[in-house]
Structure 1
Amino acid sequence: MSENQQFALTRPAYVGQAHLVVRDLPRVSEFYQKIIGLSVIEKSPSGEVLGVNGQPLLTLTTSGNATRAPSGAAGLFHTAFLMPSRDDLALWLTNVAQHNVQLQGASDHLVSEAIYLADPEGNGIEVYRDRHPDEWKYQPDGTVSMSTLRLDLQELYNSAPKATFTKAADGTAIGHIHLQVGDIPQADAFYQDVLGLKIMARYPGASFFGSGAYHHHVAANIWNSRGAQARSETMTGLSGYSLKFNDKTALDNAIAALDRLEIASERQSDGIVVKDPWGIGLKLSA
């Protein structure tokens, strides 16, 4: 695992895995296997757990009453898969080209290089690699300089190792999760004041929250979803995701804030389950 990928995962908190509700389980699962390079770890009639090298990253479940979420609903903007190196990202790009997958964009964000696409049910996906944190520029207030510049896909493609992509590189992880929410001040209050993540960057209509000086583990925007209300249980898309804590104090602080503000949460054997203001599930665990 490369040092810069370690950076995202060794912070006080980081994203563990995501859970999507889908209508066509076999089709969506095949996409994540063939195009993203995930492998099936567990299978049941109603769902599958996919991951890399035995590490679960994505749970897909379906049910007979799953209803397609409207585009302006709160939920997922994209799940961001973090590749261990630029070579891994370039080799993955050759796989996308071979399968003629339509890309939605490609950006140099200064801290990272990112490629955007969607799964067959329209769930957004980012596949990216981080630049080394030594190359990031921080402002005096601790925020990080990010931008959206054009990424030269041809140059990236040409730089790929002479190999055939068979599966996502060992060490691939969910580097961050980007949400559609109804209101940014409300998102700031929950993700910063309750969960203890720091606002690392702001764009018009978006906040980027990170732990331990990472550019962002969670982002929230209102670009398509201003005023969105809480999700219904049966909606397709992002049912929830997990935040894992390397720092027990950070986890204890988040739990204390939930209790203090009387935000409903459920203690389970493997963590604390809570919902954000838009009904997106979160599991907090050490």
Structure 2
Amino acid sequence: MDTTKHPPVDPQVRIGHVHLKVADLDRALRFYCGVLGFEITQRYGSQAAFVSAGGYHHHIGLNTWESQGGSPPPPGSTGLYHTAILYPTRRALAVALRRVLEAGVPLDGAADHGVSEALYLRDPDDNGVELYWDRPPEQWPRTPAGELAMFTRRLDLNGLLKEVEVATAAPNVKDGPKDL
């Protein structure tokens, strides 16, 4: 695409929310609210709900309008890779990790990307979920030329848990680090 005809998007543009099709609304709410700690801002019976953090109208929409009792898409099909939930601090991410572990939700991976630290898991409908925090930009790895130099290394889960002084040891992760 010729960017000379169209300027880049305004740098203040943000992704406001994600809306997911789920098979069972109550099950999805137990995960997003019970495990991750989001709060319900509005519910439409057994068909839809909106959840948020910090009083925003909604960060995640959940609905069964076209998916009640449905199954996840088969491997090899297109669709959402994951929803990434940004935590404000490393400690907040550690609290999220503790909640996930206490709920018995398995991790698919955990990675240090240089710019961020991330946990990868799946919701009850097999949607990918990334929980992460960004390091301050001045700590991001850069090449000698000043370009961003992200990488993927295994994240020390026990070190992360020390942020909240949890005695529970982190479990083995199914796979190695996930790529960006």
TM tier relative to shorter chain: 0.7 to 0.9
Residue 127 of structure 1 aligns with which residue? Answer: 131
| Other structure's SS at 2:14 match | strand
If asked which structure has higher relative contact order (CA below 8 Å, sep 6+), I would say 1
Q: Normalised by the size of structure 2, how large is the TM-score?
A: 0.77
Give the secondary structure class of the aligned counterpart of 1:32.
helix
| Partner of residue 78, structure 2 | 74
Equivalent position amino acid for 2:160 in 1: L
1:92-241 matches, cutoff 5 A: 92-139=96-143, 144-160=148-164
What's the secondary structure of 2:150's corresponding residue? coil
- For the residues of structure 1 that align with 2:147 and 2:77, how far apart are their CA atoms? 29
Equivalents in 2 of 1:126, 1:61: separation in Å? 20
What is the rounded CA distance, in whole Å, between the counterparts of 2:16 and 2:142 in structure 1? 26
Matched, 1:54 2:55: yes
Structure 1 residue 138 displacement after superposition:
4.0
Instruction: Identify unmatched segments of 5+ residues in structure 2.
Output: 1-9, 167-178
Between the aligned partners of 2:93 and 2:106, the Cα distance in structure 1 is 16
Q: CA RMSD in A?
A: 2.3
Range with greater deviation from structure 2 (130-139 or 63-72) = 63-72
- 1:148 aligned partner, one-letter code: T
Aligned to 1:13: 13
State percent identity of aligned pairs.
Answer: 37
Displacement of 1:36 in angstroms is: 1.3
Contact 2:20 2:62 (8 Å CA) reproduced: yes
CA contact (8 A) 1:25 1:62 kept: yes
Aligned length: 155
1:91–1:161 Cα contact (<8 Å) kept: no
Q: Secondary structure at the match of 2:107?
A: coil
Q: CA deviation at 1:129?
A: 0.6
The superposition leaves residues 124-160 of structure 1 with CA deviations (integer Å, 9 ceiling, x where unpaired) of 0000010100011345887521111010001111221
TM-score (structure 1 length as normaliser) = 0.50
Larger strand fraction of residues: 1
What 5-or-longer segments of structure 1 have no aligned partner? 1-9, 163-205, 209-286
Q: Residues 147, 42 of structure 1: CA spacing in aligned structure 2 closer, same or farther, 3 A cutoff?
A: same
Q: Does the aligned pair in 2 maintain the 1:87–1:161 contact within 8 Å? A: no
